[in-house]
Amino acid sequence: MDAILLPQKIKKDIWYKEPWLLLVVGGPLIVVCASIFTGVLAWNGSDKVVAEDYYKQGLMINKDIQRDAKARELELSALITLDLAAGRLRMQLSANKKLPETVQVSLASSGGKTTSVTEVIRRLPMKQVQPGSYEGDLSNLSVGVVKLLHVKVETMEWRLTGDWFDPEQRQAHLIAAK
């Protein structure tokens, strides 16, 4: 009977073994860890939203629209072939008017496997070797292992643009959009 009347010691668990502690601290701790993880992902994989020369590009929009319209008017089309063995870029260009002696081809590709998004632009002057047939030298350009190129064939009056998938295996066919 003495055991009933005497106060007994309540057995307590160690503080970190308390189930209520996990409920009170666990939820916010998981949220903090998830937000840190999300922040690291966002910081390392962020895309460039605004181009560095956005103002200059904005001023050029009207000029580019006019050049595209001129290409439609001339019914321009181009077939571009990459010949890595000879180090040449060949192009067949057709239009309903006389073609210029030289045109410029711009090849743009992403910067590679780095996390930063950089665009590498290579400009190549091409000279007419026969009527409608142009060639350019690739000796100072490295186009290897690139799977996608953004191609722009242009003069001061007109331009043709398009994407070239797998340039080592396929030809690019650019047509002025109607």
Question: Does position 37 have pLDDT exceeding 60, yes or no?
Answer: yes
The confidence band for 31, taking pLDDT boundaries of 50, 70 and 90, is very high
Q: Are residues 92 and 167 in the same domain?
A: yes
Judge whether 69 lies within some domain: no
Q: Is residue 80 located within the same domain as residue 40? A: no
**What pLDDT, in 10s, does the model give residues 51-87?**
788 888 888 888 888 989 999 999 999 999 888 788 8
Residue given tokens 């060949």 in the structure block:
90
In this structure, the answer to whether residues 116 and 161 fall within a common structural domain is yes
Which structural domain, as residue segments, surrounds residue 31?
Answer: 13-44
Mean pLDDT (whole number) for 124-150 = 81
Claim: this prediction has a pTM higher than 0.85: no
Is there a domain that residue 94 lies in?
yes
**Once rounded to an integer, what is the mean pLDDT over residues 150-159?**
88
Per-residue pLDDT for 145 more than 90?
Answer: no
Q: Is the pLDDT of residue 178 over 70?
A: no
12 DSSP assignment: -
| 80 and 135 share one domain | yes
Residues 31 and 83 in one domain: no
User: Kind of pairing, strands 88-94 and 133-137?
Assistant: antiparallel
Please check whether residue 144 is in contact with residue 122, taking contact to mean a CB–CB distance below 8 angstroms: no
Task: Note whether residue 170 is domain-resident.
Answer: yes
Contact 162, 174 (CB under 8 A): yes
- Do 29 and 109 sit in the same domain of this protein? no
pLDDT score of 116: 47
Residue 154 has pLDDT above 70, yes or no: yes
Same domain (yes/no): 165, 85: yes
In a domain, 7, yes or no: no
Q: Is the distance from CB of 132 to CB of 94 less than 8 angstroms?
A: yes
Residue 55 domain flag: no
| Total count of domains within the chain | 2
Together in a domain, 115 and 154: yes
Q: CATH number, domain at 134?
A: 2.60.40
Q: Has residue 155 been placed in a domain?
A: yes
Q: Which helix (H) or strand (E) holds 60?
A: helix 54-73
Residues 90 and 26 grouped into a single domain: no
The pLDDT-based confidence of 110 (bands split at 50, 70, 90) is: low
Same structural domain, 84 and 157:
yes
Position 21 scores a pLDDT of: 82
Q: Is-contact 77 174, C-beta < 8 A?
A: yes
Q: Indicate whether 33 belongs to any domain.
A: yes
pLDDT of residue 144: 58
Contact 161, 151 (CB under 8 A): yes
Q: Are residues 162 and 97 in the same domain?
A: yes
pLDDT for 39 equals: 94
Q: What is the mean pLDDT of the chain?
A: 82
66 occurs within a structural domain: no
